[in-house]
Structure 1
Amino acid sequence: MREQLSVLEKRGNTNCFSEANFNHLLVTMKDRTYPEGTHLYWEGDVSDKLYYMKRGRAQITKSTDEGKELIMYMYQSGDMIGQADPFFGSKHSFSAEVLEDSEIGVLEHKDLEMLICQHCDFAIDFMKWMGIHHRLTQTKFRDLMLYGKPGALCSTLIRLSNSYGEPHGDHVIIHKKITHTDLSNMIGATRESVNRMLSDLRKKDAIEYDNGMIVIKDLNMLQGICHCELCPNEICRI
């Protein structure tokens, strides 16, 4: 019981499920451990499972024709990963890589379909989860396409602060070491252009670094550059 409560306390993008429906998920899924560097699935694999992060972190990536890897999403404890597609049997559009040793609950689509058939309120909660997933994708593409690389970078910094940030007075420290290469892969830019844009933000006193961690000093400036629409945190996340 204590283990189940600890899982309930760390829910991420599954907050849309009621406690009863979330318990249905926990009982149905099968626990697996995945070492760092392994893949939950590859782009093109049949989408027949969902994955719940009980412990650890994972990232969703997309490979371009030139071999560059774009980081689409980053997930942590409490998040559910998988193709948000009601038409079971589709193929994954992205790859999912485990970033650290992780404990993950695996939910087969056939078991998910059974839950949806047996519990109509569960079906409604699952539709809410799908809606959050789609809105997250839409807002990310909006940031990448409408306001250039500076807007995409500022949006990414805001999303990182919502996912990993900790307030310190008027500043927010992002307690994850994010390299310039990581940032370039998140916004589809070169590492050199990310270096240049970060230097500009430091000169404007919008950000700084503290022991390798990014510190956001002027959130309003970042929001202005990316034309922030003040989405809720479950949408505005990395």
Structure 2
Amino acid sequence: MKTIVPLLQNVPLFQELSQADLLGIAPLFVEKKVKKGSILFLEGDAGEELFLIKSGVVKIYRLDEAKEIILALFRDGDFFGEMSLISAGLTRSATAETLEACTLYALKRTSFVQYMEKSPKLCLKLLETTMGRLRQANDQIYDLTFLGVRSRIIKTIIRLSEQHGIPAQDGLLINVKLTHQQLANMVGTVRESVTKVLQELQDDELIQIDKKLITLINVDAIKAEIR
């Protein structure tokens, strides 16, 4: 499992560990290959594992009266399920499903406890990571409460570009394929509203869309659209 060490070195949770510690933790991860559309865990399930993504895309969502609300998207190098490492007996607060075929590494809490007990830095990093994601969730709640639909859509695009953006010839490419319905599920609106706003941004030459991939041409101008 030495091959996982370079991946761990780029995960904020493990960045402060020594090479020796990383080599010690690496064998605790179990590789899993899963197909597109696979449910990794359901909201309410017992939380026992942290997942690290080697390749693929995973969506985290909740159901509200059968309506899907996407909370986050994770891809290569991202991790999720970290709350399960903090305390035994916690249940999953959302559902995780693969949007693409994925290769994942799973780490059980019971295997990881020994490292948490002897590494205060690791415990602190885990807490920092969890608090950071809580702040992001609070920001999303604020947006849903106080921003109009158009601003929420634009802000979601900007957030996705910050999380998954890669430099491209024409601007900043969001390196995750998204349907209009998936974006609507992230924003808390209907697909037609997303289609309308995206078309307006394209007409104003602020974004480009090709094969479900969005490129931000002028990020500052797009941010100015938030009102």
TM-score of the pair, normalised by structure 1: 0.81
Structure 1 segment 3-14 matched on structure 2, within 5 A: 3-8=3-8, 11-12=10-11, 14=12
CA contact (8 A) 2:2 2:23 kept: no
Counterpart of 1:141 in structure 2 is 141
Inter-CA distance 24–2: structure 2 relative to 1 (3 Å threshold) = closer
**CA offsets per residue over residues 52-91 of structure 1, 9 Å max, x none?**
11222211011111x1111111111211111526343121
Inter-CA distance 223–23: structure 2 relative to 1 (3 Å threshold) = farther
Q: CA RMSD in A?
A: 2.5
Deviation at 1:51, TM superposition (A): 1.2
CA contact (8 A) 1:50 1:109 kept: yes
CA distance in 2 between counterparts of 1:144 and 1:172 reads: 25
Inter-CA distance 23–186: structure 2 relative to 1 (3 Å threshold) = farther
CA distance in 1 between counterparts of 2:99 and 2:210 reads: 23
Which protein has greater RCO, CA pairs closer than 8 Å, 6+ apart? 1
Counterpart code for 2:15? F
5+ unaligned residues in a row in structure 1: which ranges? 228-238
CA contact (8 A) 1:208 1:217 kept: yes
5+ unaligned residues in a row in structure 2: which ranges? none
CA distance in 1 between counterparts of 2:33 and 2:209 reads: 34
* Further displaced range: 210-219 or 189-198: 210-219
CA distance in 2 between counterparts of 1:51 and 1:211 reads: 28
State the 4+ residue runs in structure 1 displaced beyond 4 angstroms: 21-25
CA distance in 1 between counterparts of 2:199 and 2:91 reads: 40
SS in 1 for 2:200: helix
CA distance in 2 between counterparts of 1:27 and 1:202 reads: 48
Inter-CA distance 111–211: structure 2 relative to 1 (3 Å threshold) = closer
Q: How many residues are matched?
A: 224
CA contact (8 A) 2:59 2:98 kept: yes
SS in 1 for 2:44: coil
* Further displaced range: 51-60 or 208-217: 208-217
